[in-house]
Each structure stands twice: as structure tokens, then as C-alpha cells.
Amino acid sequence: MNSASKPDKAELASMFRSFIDPAFVITDEETLKPYECDGLSMYCVMPLMVVLPETVDQVQEVMRVCHRYQIPVVARGAGTGLSAGALPDAGGVVLSLAKFNRILDIDPMARSARLQSGVRNLAISEAASEYGLYYGPDPSSQIACTIGGNVGENSGGVHCLKYGLTTHNILSVEMITVEGERVVIGSDGLDSCGMDLLALITGSEGLLGIITEIQVKLLPTPEIARVVMAGFDSVDNGGDAVGGIIAQGIIPAGLEMMDSHAIKAVEDFTHAGYPVEAEALLLCEVDGTKEEVQEHIEKVEALFRDFGATSIRTSKDEAERALLWKGRKNAFPAMGRISPDYYCMDGTIPRAHLADVLNAMQDMSKQYGLRVANVFHAGDGNLHPLILFDANKPGEFERAEAFGSSILQLCVEVGGCITGEHGVGIEKIRQMPMQFTDQEIEQLNAVKEAFDPRGTLNPGKGVPTLRNCQEYRAINLKPQAAEAHHA
């Protein structure tokens, strides 16, 4: 409570160095620099310091010290987040879990793995593969992102229509509370008694506790997976085809759509053989037993023809499957080739509104004077509009942000939400009042208080204060398009 008793930077660093390897308590500007932002590099703040504890005891001690002096703590995994959720606090400590990179145990019989929170997502499936198992959620950043970060953001990926999000694929977590106490939430069983705190922690963006260990479920690797790629001459037809597959009772392992801007950019970049003349492209992956996949692939091909596909190509082997996915997986870097910068949005919509939303986005594109390309997790309604801009041109990023905000507003208006998998972080905190009333925001803040009464865990992220909500509402109401147009 008494800020006068707060240690200064040097004092705090020496406290940490008394129990953490001094080399892992970073205070100099040059070494701190890489920690000033995460994957959303438009937002930068230099932290007071960064600590890289190596044991749970050390994490607990860091938390105790920070709790005592009310010092903000921002947890960080690989720093691949796209909503500035790991943006440092200028007066706070960044707690990096990079040293927590051990796979503790794989239990092939029980189909689960125990992992330290800094283990990379892809490393789990790599380690499990010798048992014919894998970990379901596969965010685009899976080479680098950590399982701890995945829990923090409730990460998805291209396979979540069938295999679920992080929240569906974890059994338990070890969490260090803001006071420094170690608790295990969940168990080896599929559910636990009481309120489902595991659900509450998942996707809480580091606002409720520090995750040090995670037990994940592993799935049997499907015998076979094949992908059908189809071009359509309108977004409507593509969208209808998606509905048609679902209506047939098929749940594809992956179902991705791209608009014509994305198709062209990606084809130029990857030469995967995408139909550049198409207005919409669908990638539909089916997995399962050999018999099931054969049966479903035939149905999907027939359905695409019925819905007016202008081209259809089905993978015959693993190499071709990888090639067809290559374009989609490289959609973001492909944008980097046609524009100095891009800004990736993450709204979700009920799929029925897809064509309307994409058309509205093209109108907005003209209004804001910025190009937009769309990649879309069509199966689960998660849009990733990529707004192209040049950060070196004054005002362009602000315009891109305003454009993005208008897109999110539209998503909420058609019954969707402002973020499907990237999280709110600091980036979308101004859009929270679009989706939630003041009473709901107040309730969310009360949830935070139940875990973190002093509000030192990742402050300023995820959920706005009520006072800020009023400000944001006023800003959101302003006709941004008109004002942004001249730039």
C-alpha cells in the first residue's frame, strides 16, 4: 500500500539476484530491448526488468516479492502473441518462462503429456509422434509459440472445428497465484469438483495467475488426412459450399477460405498452384480411417461440384497435401511481400453473414484507403482480415487501426465477437465495450479481483476499467472513416 517502501530498480534487481542466477535478471537497456514488444510490434514499452527463473520455487519467490511491493508482473512465453498481451509495464517485471522448456512426461497409455509452460507447441506433437499421438491445437505460430502462451490465450488453429481449442485439450495446470502460492487446477480426470477454474484460467491472458506446468491431452494420429482445394467464382458460393459440407454431416479436420486478394498474394509467394482467377478458395481437410476419408472425400468433391466450384484438386499423397496447405500457412508472410506492413485482425462471425461482411469490408477498404485481404477459418467463423499499410507513412497505422476497429464493430453487429483466438491484450481493449455492457465489464473485473485483488498481474490488459469504457465508447462512436480519409 505504501509506495514509498517500494524498492528502486537496483534494489529490486539485487533482491531477485539473491535467488535467481544473476545473469537471468536483466536490467540493461540493450538486453531488455527484445522484450519491449510481442508479436504485435506496433506496441512497445520498455520494462523495468526481465527475470528468467529456472524453477517453480524461483517463480514463487518472484511473485512474493512483487506482491509485497505491488510491482506489476507480465508473464511471457515466446512473445508470439498478436494482441500485445505480453507488452511490458514500464514500472513492472517481465516474467519470462523461457527456461521452463522441459517435456516432463508423456504417458502414451493415458494419452497425456506433462509439460513445463515454456515448451513449444510443435515440440509436443514431435515428442508424442513416436507413440502415434499428437497434440490437437495448432496455431500458425506453432513452431515458436509455447504451451503456456496457448493456455493464456486459449489458442486455436486450423483444426479446431473438429479437435477444439486449448481449453478442450488440457487436463490440468500448475499455477502460481499472485501471492506466490502454488496450486494445481484440474486433475488427471476429465473434470473436477467445484467451479471450473481451469476454464476460467484458459484464455485469461496472464491476468489471473502464472502458469508453470500444463497437462495436455494427446490424440491418436489419424491414419490418413487428405485435402480438397476448390475455387469458386463468388464468396457466396464458397460460403454455401461450407454450409453444404456441414449439412452432409461431415466435420472436416480443417476448413479454410481465402478471398481473391489473399489467393493472388499467396500464389505469387508460394506457387502452390492456387486458382488465381477464383474469387474464393476453400481448403477442406478430412482425416480419419482410410475408409472414412475415402468416403468423405468423395462426398466433399461432389458437393463442391454441386455448389459451382470452378476448379477442384484433391491431394493424392502427403507431399501434395503439404503443398496445398503451404499457401494457406504462408498467407501472412505473403502479405509481407505485397505490402511493407500488415495488420491482422481476428473477429468471428456466424458464417451465414460471411458474404455481407466481406462485401462491407471492401467498402471500408475504399473508405479508409487501405487494401485488405482475407483468410478465414470458415469452419468456425473466425476471420483474419489482413489490412495492408505502410508504417513509415505518417498516420497509416492509425488508419489501419481505425479500419480494424470498424471491422470488429461489424463482427459484433452480426452476432460475432472481437477476438476468436488472438486475445484482447492491449490491442482490442478499446473494443471490449462493443461486445460487453458496463455491468458485464464490471463482473469481469470482479472475477479478476477474486484472483488478483491488487491488480498487479498484467495490468491494463484484457478487461478495461469502467471509466475507460466510457471513453472508448465515445471514441468508437466517432465517424472514424470520414476523419481518416484524407491521410
Partner 1 sequence: MPDITEQLQDQIKTARTEARKLSIVGGGSKAFMGRAIDADRLDVSGHSGIVTYQPVELVLTVRAGTPLLEIEAALAKNNQMLSFEPPHFSDASTIGGTLACNQSGPGRPWWSSVRDQVLGVGLINGTGEKLRFGGQVMKNVAGYDVSRTQAGAMGSLGVLTEISLKVLPRPATTVTLSREMRQNEAILFMNARAAEPKPLSAACWLDGKLYLRLSGAQSAVEATAKQWDIPLMTGGDEFWQQLRDQQLPFFAGDQPLWRFSVNSTAPNPPLDGPWLIDWAGSQRWYRGDAELASMEAHAEKAGGQVSLFRGGDRTGEVMHRQLPALQAIQKRLKHSFDPDGLFNPGRLYSWM
Compute CA distances 185 → 32, 56, 153, 207, whole Å: 33, 16, 17, 16
Name residue 115's amino acid: L
* By the rule CB under 8 A, 358 interacts with partner 1: no
Total number of residues binding partner 1 (CB under 8 A)? Answer: 96
Residue in 43, 84, 92 with CA at minimum distance from that of residue 63: 92
> What is the CA 8 to chain-centroid distance, rounded?
35
* By the rule CB under 8 A, 221 interacts with partner 1: yes
What is d(CA 266, CA 393) in angstroms, rounded to the nearest whole number? 25
Residue in 2, 4, 19, 16 with CA at minimum distance from that of residue 47: 16
Residues 20-49 that bind partner 1 (CB under 8 A): none
Name the residue nearer to partner 1 (CB basis): 62 or 160: 160
Burial class (CB in 10 A: 0-12, 13-18, 19+), 195: exposed
DSSP calls for 259-315 = EHHHHHHHHHHH-----TT-SEEEEEEEEESHHHHHHHHHHHHHHHHHTT-SEEEE-
Overall size of the chain counted in residues:
487
CB of 28 to partner 1, least distance (A): 35
Binding partner 1 (rule: CB under 8 A), the pick from 160, 370, 373, 410 is: 160
* By the rule CB under 8 A, 439 interacts with partner 1: yes
Binding partner 1 (rule: CB under 8 A), the pick from 145, 417, 426, 484 is: 417
Name the residue nearer to partner 1 (CB basis): 192 or 465: 192
Name the residue nearer to partner 1 (CB basis): 184 or 391: 184
Cell reading at 19: 535467488
Residues 238-297 that bind partner 1 (CB under 8 A): 242-244, 246-251, 288-292, 294-296
Residues 86-115 that bind partner 1 (CB under 8 A): 107-111
Name the residue nearer to partner 1 (CB basis): 32 or 352: 352
Q: Which stretch binds partner 1 (CB under 8 A): 258-266, 356-364, 438-446, 472-480?
A: 438-446
Cβ atoms of 391 and 425 closer than 8 Å: no
Name the residue nearer to partner 1 (CB basis): 179 or 320: 179
Binding partner 1 (rule: CB under 8 A), the pick from 105, 390, 449, 471 is: 449
* By the rule CB under 8 A, 121 interacts with partner 1: no
What is d(CA 303, CA 292) in angstroms, rounded to the nearest whole number? 16
- Furthest C-alpha separation in the chain: 72
* By the rule CB under 8 A, 428 interacts with partner 1: yes
* By the rule CB under 8 A, 413 interacts with partner 1: no
* By the rule CB under 8 A, 147 interacts with partner 1: no
* By the rule CB under 8 A, 392 interacts with partner 1: no
Binding partner 1 (rule: CB under 8 A), the pick from 443, 466, 471, 474 is: 443
